[in-house]
C-alpha cells in the first residue's frame, strides 16, 4: 500500500546522485522541487582551495540558504501537495563538524539552534550511499570545476560522517539505498524499482540493496 508523502528529503555524500534522484522523483510524483545550488555560494570555490580559512563563511551561507528554502516550503506545502528536496536541514551540522575548528563550531551551533526550531520535518528521508571509489569516479565524470580541487581525504571523511549520522538517525522514516549498482538516471527498470520502494515505506528504518538485473 502506497504511503502518502508530503515531503521527501534525499541525502547522501558528494557525487552519490541526490539531485538526479530528487529531480526524477518530483517528476514522477508531480511534486514541487527544492534543489540546493552550491554555485550560488560565493565562498565555495575559495573553500575548496583554502578550507581552513573559508570554512566558516561557506558554512554560514549554506545554513542560511537552506533555512530560507525550507521556510518557503513550509509556506507552500499542504495536504494535497508533495515536495522533494535534495537536502535536509540536519545535515548542515555534519559539514560544519567536519570543517570548523572548535570555537567556530560552537558559534555555528548557537546560530543553528536558533534557526531550526520550527522547520518542517520530512515524512521520509532517502539516504543514498556508495563506496569511495564510486563517489570518486562520479565526481570526476561530472567534471564540476570546483569539485576537482576537493581532496580525496575530505570525501572519505564526509562519507564516514554520513554513515555515522544515519546509523544513529531515528527522527523520521528512513530508507537507506545502496546506490553502487543501481542506475536511476538512465535505467528505467532500476528507477521504477526504487520508486516503488519509496512509495511503500512506512515508519521505521528500511534498506534497499538492489543488484543489477541479468538480461
- Compute the average pLDDT of residues 118-136: 90
Question: Mean pLDDT, the chain, as a whole number?
Answer: 87
Cα-Cα-Cα-Cα dihedral of 19, 86, 81, 67, to 10°?
A: -140
Model confidence at 215, pLDDT cuts 50, 70, 90, reads very low
Distances (CA, A) of 17 to 10, 109, 161, 181: 9, 28, 17, 12
Q: SS3 sequence, 104-116? A: HHHHHHHHHHHHC
Give the model's pLDDT for residue 24.
95
Euclidean distance between CA atoms 62 and 64, whole angstroms: 6
80 burial type by CB count under 10 A (0-12 exposed, 13-18 middle, 19+ buried)? exposed
What is the percentage of the chain residues whose pLDDT exceeds 90?
50
Please tell me the CATH code under which domain 7-208 is placed.
3.40.50.300
User: In a 3-state reduction of DSSP, which class is residue 81?
Assistant: coil
User: Tens digit of pLDDT for each residue in 74-119?
Assistant: 888 887 789 999 998 888 889 999 999 999 999 999 999 888 777 8
61 burial type by CB count under 10 A (0-12 exposed, 13-18 middle, 19+ buried)? middle
Whole-prediction pTM:
0.89
Domain ranges (residues) in the chain: 7-208
Give the model's pLDDT for residue 89.
87
Distances (CA, A) of 203 to 3, 123, 171, 172: 10, 9, 10, 8
Q: Which of 195, 181, 204 is nearest to 129 (CA)?
A: 181
User: Tens digit of pLDDT for each residue in 22-74?
Assistant: 999 999 999 999 999 888 999 988 888 888 889 999 999 999 999 999 888 88
Euclidean distance between CA atoms 181 and 191, whole angstroms: 12
Model confidence at 138, pLDDT cuts 50, 70, 90, reads confident
Amino acid at each position: 500500500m502506497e504511503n502518502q508523502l508530503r515531503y521527501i528529503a534525499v541525502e547522501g555524500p558528494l557525487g552519490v546522485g541526490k539531485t538526479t534522484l530528487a529531480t526524477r522523483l518530483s517528476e514522477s510524483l508531480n511534486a514541487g522541487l527544492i534543489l540546493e545550488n552550491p554555485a550560488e555560494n560565493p565562498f565555495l570555490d575559495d573553500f575548496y582551495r583554502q578550507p581552513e580559512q573559508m570554512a566558516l563563511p561557506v558554512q554560514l551561507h549554506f545554513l542560511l540558504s537552506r533555512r530560507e528554502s525550507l521556510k518557503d516550503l513550509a509556506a507552500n506545502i499542504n495536504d494535497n501537495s508533495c515536495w522533494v528536496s535534495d537536502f535536509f536541514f540536519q545535515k548542515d551540522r555534519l559539514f560544519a563538524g567536519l570543517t570548523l575548528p572548535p570555537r567556530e563550531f560552537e558559534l555555528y551551533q548557537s546560530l543553528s539552534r536558533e534557526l531550526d526550531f520550527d522547520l518542517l520535518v520530512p515524512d521520509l528521508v532517502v539516504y543514498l550511499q556508495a563506496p569511495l571509489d564510486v563517489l570518486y569516479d562520479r565526481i570526476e565524470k561530472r567534471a564540476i570545476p570546483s569539485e576537482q580541487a576537493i581532496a580525496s581525504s575530505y570525501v572519505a571523511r564526509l562519507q564516514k560522517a554520513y554513515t555515522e549520522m544515519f546509523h544513529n538517525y531515528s527522527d523520521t522514516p528512513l530508507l537507506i539505498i545502496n546506490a553502487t549498482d543501481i542506475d536511476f538516471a538512465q535505467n528505467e527498470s532500476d528507477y521504477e524499482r526504487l520508486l516503488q520502494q519509496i512509495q511503500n515505506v512506512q515508519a521505521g528504518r528500511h534498506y534497499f540493496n538492489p543488484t543489477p538485473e541479468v538480461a
